[in-house]
Amino acid sequence: MRLCATTAVGALSLALVTGCGGDGSKDSAGTPAEGAGRPATKALSAAELRKRVITDGEVPGYKVGAVPAGRAQLIKADDAKCEPVARVMSGFAPVPGAARTDRMATQEPRKTGGARPTPQGDRGEGGFEASVNKAMTRDITTVDLSSYEGDGAAKALKAFADAVKDCAGGFVGKQAGTAMKFTRLTGGGAAGAGDESVAVTAVTDMDGGKTAPVYAVVVRHGNTLASYQTVNFGAMMSGKSYAVSPEVVEAQSAKLK
């Protein structure tokens, strides 16, 4: 699947598949207020974060596991002010915290009533291509939990919100020598979880002159940030809509209450 995804969506796939608002906000991007919350509690340790991150069996319809080590390289933005967005698009928090952990939630294939897959030799009416596209039409969501001292989480979320606005016209990123172009950023609706949240839709270049969206949302729970980034290669290739996996956000938010 990794090879197919890389071929289909080019450099963006290579970068994003190498691992293959909340109550306090009212505007469309979920922009947090300056210094909102200012939690006084100390940052959770990595061990404490591991106890709170989702595990397999906790998200219906998804397989949850470790993020593959090959994914651990950040996308580097060509403009420093866009760095918080580039980090989230890499599967990290917008600003480094005191401790972190992460997981990958992959949507399980839907049962098709025992129908046999279309053989490769039968490409009538796009049968094989349709079969491949269907197999790739599933959400892959990376979850990063990062903890901060003092009001660090609120400041990190604001840095992300500022970057979404300041880099609305897009930016170029590079990961492990592979370049990708984010042509447009738009703020999205709040996540409806945590203390406050900021969502972003990043429109990216694909092969053949096409574009496709990648979605992310960062949610603050006290002095911990939960950052979610979702890709769905089948939807990206077919032009169908998708979003940050709501089941993943709901399950993770429940463990951070």
> What confidence tens digit (pLDDT) does each residue in 158-170 have?
999 999 999 999 9
Q: Cα separation of 188 and 25, whole Å?
A: 12
pTM: 0.80
Residue pLDDT, tens place only, 180-234: 899 999 997 777 789 999 999 999 988 778 899 999 999 999 999 999 999 999 9
Q: Which residues does residue 174 pair with via DSSP β-bridges, in sequence order?
A: 76, 179
The per-residue pLDDT for range 73-115, each reduced to its tens digit, is 799 999 999 999 999 999 999 999 999 999 999 999 876 544 4
Instruction: Give domain 2-254's CATH superfamily.
Output: PknH-like extracellular domain (3.40.1000.70)
Cβ neighbours of 223 (radius 10 Å): 26
Q: Of all residues in the chain, what percent carry a pLDDT higher than 70?
A: 74
| Alpha helix ranges (H) inside 60-215 | 83-89, 127-136, 152-166
pLDDT at 116 over 70: no
pLDDT tens, residue by residue, 27-54: 333 445 444 444 457 999 999 999 999 9
Residue labelled with tokens 């170029």:
172
Q: Amino acid identity of 96?
A: P
Confidence grade of residue 1 (pLDDT, cut at 50, 70, 90): very low
Structure tokens given for 180: 């990708």
Q: How confident is the model at residue 133 (pLDDT cuts 50, 70, 90)?
A: low
Beta carbons within 8 Å of 202's beta carbon, 6+ residues apart? 85, 89, 182, 184, 185, 213, 214, 215, 216
Q: In what order do the strands lie in the sheet with 76-77?
A: 62-65, 99-107, 140-147, 224-231, 211-221, 196-205, 178-187, 171-175, 76-77
Q: Where are the domains of the chain?
A: 2-254
Pairing of strands 99-107, 140-147: antiparallel
| Alpha-carbon distances of 127 from 115, 131, 167, rounded to whole Å | 13, 6, 40
Report CA 64 to chain centroid distance, whole Å. 14
Q: Among residues 140, 197, 206, 195, which one has the least CA distance to residue 164?
A: 197
Contacts with 140 (C-beta within 8 Å, 6 or more apart), sequence order: 17, 20, 104, 105, 106, 107, 230, 231, 232
